[in-house]
Amino acid sequence: MIITYHGAECVRLQFGNTVIALGPISKESNLKAARFGADMTLISLNHADTNGFEAAAFGDKQPFIVQGPGEYEIKDVLIKGFLSASRYDGKKPAAADRINTVYQISLEGMNLCYLGAINTKDLPHEANEAIDNVDILFIPIGGEGVLTPAEAYKLSVAIEPKIIIPIHFGEIGVPNALKNFLKESGAEGVKPIEKLTVKKKDLEGKEGEIVVLKEP
C-alpha cells in the first residue's frame, strides 16, 4: 500500500489498482484541492474542506461514496464508520458539535483508523469497543475545532497504533501544530517523506512510530 498526503485531511491510499480517497478537499473550499481518480471516497465531515467527493472523480474513475456510520464492503475492503463529533468550521470552531465519522478500514491484512475532524479527547464508546489492533492511525492535530497537538498525541497513545500519521496541519489549523505535536511525542527529529509504502510485514515490532507525510 502507498500512502500520500494531499493537505487538510485528504489522504490517498493505493493498493494494486485500487485507490481510496480519505477526506478530499472540495472545489468549493478555499484550500487547494488535489485531483485524482478514486474507487471509493470516505467523508468524515460534511464541510467544503473535507467533503470533496467530486475531486476524487477523474477520467473514468467515479468513486463509491461512504459518508456516515455503518458497515460497508467494497472490493474486498471492509469499512466501519462510527459516530463522533467535531467543531471544525473553517477558520473558526463551530459553536456546537457537528457530526464526524471515525472510520476503521481493513485491507491487505492491515487495520487503518481514520479519525477525520474529531475534536473529542477520547473515542466514542462504540468506536472504542470496536476498534482494536490498529496498524496505522490518521489523526488531526491542528486545533481550531479538531484535536490540539497535545490532545492528539494523548489519544494516539491510548489507541496504541503501530504507526501514527498526523493530518490537518500546515495550511489548515493553528500555527506550528506539527512542530508542537512532534515535541509532545518526543519525535522532533522526524523528517517528512513524500510517501509511505508499507506492507503488513513491515509493521512487525513497531509501536507508535510517527510518520510525517509532506504536504503537497
pLDDT, tens digit, 9 for 90 and up, residues 115-131 = 999 999 999 999 999 99
Task: Please tell me the predicted confidence (pLDDT) of residue 153.
Answer: 97
Q: What is the pTM of this model?
A: 0.96
3 state SS of 5: strand
> Which residues have CB under 8 Å from 21's CB, separation 6+?
10, 11, 12, 13, 36, 38, 40, 41, 42, 53, 55, 56, 63
**In the chain, what are the domain boundaries?**
2-210
Task: Please tell me the predicted confidence (pLDDT) of residue 34.
Answer: 85
Task: Please tell me the predicted confidence (pLDDT) of residue 33.
Answer: 86
Q: What angle do CA 53, 85, 141 make, to 5 degrees?
A: 80
Task: Please tell me the predicted confidence (pLDDT) of residue 135.
Answer: 98
Report the alpha-carbon distance of residue 131 to residue 104 in Å, rounded. Answer: 7
Task: Please tell me the predicted confidence (pLDDT) of residue 59.
Answer: 73
Task: Please tell me the predicted confidence (pLDDT) of residue 54.
Answer: 86
Strands 209-210 and 163-167: parallel
Fold category of 2-210 in CATH = Metallo-beta-lactamase; Chain A (3.60.15)
Which residues of the chain fall short of a pLDDT of 70?
none
Task: Please tell me the predicted confidence (pLDDT) of residue 145.
Answer: 96
Report the alpha-carbon distance of residue 117 to residue 10 in Å, rounded. Answer: 11
Task: Please tell me the predicted confidence (pLDDT) of residue 36.
Answer: 87
Task: Please tell me the predicted confidence (pLDDT) of residue 56.
Answer: 83
Task: Please tell me the predicted confidence (pLDDT) of residue 10.
Answer: 96
